[in-house]
Chains A and B, each alone.
Chain A
Amino acid sequence: MIKLEKVTKIYPDGTEAVKGISLEIPKGEFCVLLGPSGCGKTTTLKMINRLIPLTSGRILIDGKDITEVNENELRRGIGYAIQEIGLFPHMTVGENIATVPRLLHWPKGRIQRRVEELLELVGLVPPEEFVNKYPAELSGGQRQRVGVARALGADPPILLMDEPFGAIDPITRERLQDEFLRIQEEIKKTIVFVTHDINEAIKMGDRIALMRDGRLVQYATPAELLAHPKDDFVRDFVGADRTLKALRLLRVREVMDEQPPSVEASESLSEAGERMRQLGVNFLPVVDREGRFLGWLNRSALRPGREGRVQELMTPYSVLATPDTPLNEALSMMFESAVGNLAVVDGEGKLRGLLTFRRMHEVLRESYREEDEK
């Protein structure tokens, strides 16, 4: 656990970069320091590994004051990743990753095994293809992976990351973020992550510490920050589209109608038409005998007296969601699909649920109602 107690930084020229921040980051949590440039987030990060000395206050790691440890030993126990520029160009990928293990005098064999393990973890496979390359021979995204692997070198319990995905194109950045979240699932480090990008913060953080002018304005989970911004600054910072941003925090499974009504492809059209009238719906999902989703039946295609089977008039589906699809993606799919509803299927293609605009609206209303009442 990392604990900041009234941490203050005043530079010799009188600039107050950080003004009495108190913050607790539980073990294994991903904490994002977020804020506009100059808000003191990077200074706060660098005080944790003593790259910047504190003016007053205390920082405790697992209950121990960081000033009581030798600074180099402290830093060897804390992973540190910055923008890709921090890789050593004269060292191979393997040597870069081995930096801290070498400083700790690990035996050669152990270092080699660790380097291979880390290259696999960050997706630079096969390891033997990358280990002897130089940073100049890698793409920006690959370099950033090496940066993450290097920070994890000696398997430190804590990781400090200063805009690690800042200098990368948006597409690669999304991918690296996803991968890093996957890695974090596996390694469960305590992470302090600096960014000025609200979307990155919402996506990555278990908690967000929003800073302004050296002060901590709000420390909350992403959902809470979006639903209940503490003041106008937070509201402005998270943006007018905060409801849309909140969508990415939810998964389809949390919102979908489970056990939706459906028709079998082999049923007769008249039976299906009757069912739709009873339910008062214009669309029904069509499934096969095993419950696999096939497409949609549109009520307007049914004419009275029309004989035949459902499969003859069925519209095949164009988009699908899974229960784990983030809600923002699901919403976008719903706009794309002609039906306006979204079928949710599992890995075997079986219909698991249905997502409708109405259902989505209800759920969002629910989570924001509290604020509307203010």
Chain B
Amino acid sequence: MVEAWQFVLRRPELLGEWTLQHLYIILVSNGISLIVAVAAGIWITGKGREHIADVILYLADIIMTIPSLAMFGFLMPLFAALGLKSYGFWVAVVALILYGLLPVIRNTYTAIKEVDPAMIEAGRGMGMSELQILTRIKLPLATPVIMAGLRNAVVINIGIAAIAAMIGAGGLGVPIFRGLRNLRIDLIIAGSVAVTVLAWVADALLGLVEHWVTPAGLKRARQR
């Protein structure tokens, strides 16, 4: 521990750089997967798409079960076959996008499906279009649950992103793997602690965001 702390004090700019790389990977991958997953989650709630919904949720489920090392193992030859750079940032980002999909798709889907049908009918009966029903009723009610899915996905991905350092994507996995190779305990500990703290902080911040996006009327309902 002491050595790790001394390392941090000696090279603060290095740890800062790895943290920023890590955050950047997360931001890009979870940003993209949030958009894709919310869109997909909304789309599969449509009428007559129950089967498609089952398939998509099942696929997303399977993706979650693939170990991260195996995922990189699949993606690297795929990138190569497509003539793209088969290592580094984008391979990591694609892997993390895939991992980030399930929690958000599932939460979006369930939250929208759980909106009281009577409420939707009231909206329709008053002359709201389907789009207005989505944006004025379904999405506001689903937002807290969607945010909970995002929070879940981000915390998972912060851990997986550490492994992405193996394929040259940078981030806080770099000191960990470097330490493992050179038996530098201080590097291992510095990297591990930083990843853990990052996950905690992200979890806490997104928890605040979740609370913040919850419509006031629902908070009141919960207090009762």
Contact = CB atoms under 8 A, between A and B. Distances in A.
Interface of A: 46, 49, 51, 72-77, 80, 82-83, 85-92, 99-100, 103, 134-137, 150, 153, 160
Given A85-B118, A86-B118, A88-B119, A137 B125 contact: no
A306 B128 CA distance: 81
B116 A85 contact: yes
A308 B123 CA distance: 74
Contacts of A74: 127
B224 interface: yes
B121 A100 contact: no
B119 A136 contact: no
Nearest to B132: A103
Given A49-B125, A76-B126, A134 B220 contact: yes
Contacts of B123: 88, 99
A302 B137 CA distance: 75
Given A82-B121, A85-B116, A103-B132, A90 B126 contact: no
Contacts of A100: 126-127
Contact of B216 (A46, A75, A85, A134): A134
A83 B218 CA distance: 19
A61 to B, nearest CB: 14
- For the complex of A and B, the 8 pairs showing the least CB-CB separation, nearest first, are A86-B122, A90-B215, A76-B127, A136-B221, A134-B217, A75-B127, A80-B125, A90-B217
Contacts of A87: 119, 122
A194 to B, nearest CB: 13
A133 to B, nearest CB: 8
A92 B126 contact: no
Contacts of B124: 51, 75
A134 B121 contact: no
Interface in B144-202: none
B118 A90 contact: no
A75 B128 CA distance: 8
B141 A89 contact: yes
7 contacts: A72-B129, A73-B127, A85-B116, A87-B122, A89-B141, A90-B215, A134-B216
A103 B127 contact: yes
Contact of B217 (A80, A136, A150): A136
B125 to A, nearest CB: 4
A336 to B, nearest CB: 41
Contacts of A137: 220
A51 B217 contact: no
Nearest to B137: A88
B140 interface: yes
B218 A90 contact: yes
A76 B123 CA distance: 10
A86 B119 contact: yes
Contacts of A86: 118-119, 121-122
Contacts of B118: 82-83, 85-86
A47 to B, nearest CB: 12
A82 B217 contact: no
A46 B216 CA distance: 32
A51 B137 CA distance: 18
Given A89-B141, A134-B216, A82 B122 contact: yes
A89 B126 contact: no
Contacts of A160: 125
B221 A134 contact: yes
Contact of A75 (B119, B126, B141): B126
A52 to B, nearest CB: 10
Contacts of B127: 72-77, 100, 103
